[in-house]
Amino acid sequence: MSLLITKRCINCDMCEPECPNQAISMGEITYQIDSERCTECVGHYETPTCQKVCPIPNTIINDPQHTESEDQLWDKFVQLHHSDKI
Ligand code: SF4
Ligand code: SF4
């Protein structure tokens, strides 16, 4: 499941450099997460690192529009990091 940044985001810039998949970028109003690149940090960390560093509680949440199994997240991780090397 991809994660989602809600309107509670204060654009503090903490999460963007921490994402191992370059899934976070500045959107029109707040930071946003690219669901094609978010693996919930599977393959890198045990828990989503963006949630860990975000200072505002409940700002980064699970995105119900993009649910994925653990296997799918692993596949995404492999595809992302394989294609990054080409
Ligand atoms: S959960 Fe991990 S991969 Fe997804 S946006 Fe947050 S830091 Fe990036
Ligand atoms: S860490 Fe939280 S408040 Fe800061 S930019 Fe990211 S989502 Fe927004």
Its domain, for residue 37, covers 3-83
Residue to probe by mutation, ligand 1, list 2, 40, 62, 74, most atoms within 8 Å of CB: 40
Q: What is the pTM of this model?
A: 0.93
CATH number at residue 72: 3.30.70.20
Residues 6+ positions from 79 with CB-CB distance below 8 Å: none
Q: How far is CA 45 from the centre of its chain?
A: 12
How many domains would you assign to the chain?
Answer: 1
Q: How far is CA 51 from the centre of its chain?
A: 9
Which residue from 63, 27, 26, 65 is spatially nearest to 48, judged by alpha carbons?
Answer: 63
List the chain pLDDT tens, one digit each, 86 residues. Answer: 799 999 999 999 999 999 999 999 999 999 999 999 999 999 999 999 999 999 999 999 999 999 999 999 999 999 999 865 54
Ligand number with the minimum distance to the CA of 19: 1
CA of 86 to the centre of ligand 2 (A): 31
Cβ pair 25, 16 in contact under 8 A = yes
Ligand number with the minimum distance to the CA of 55: 2
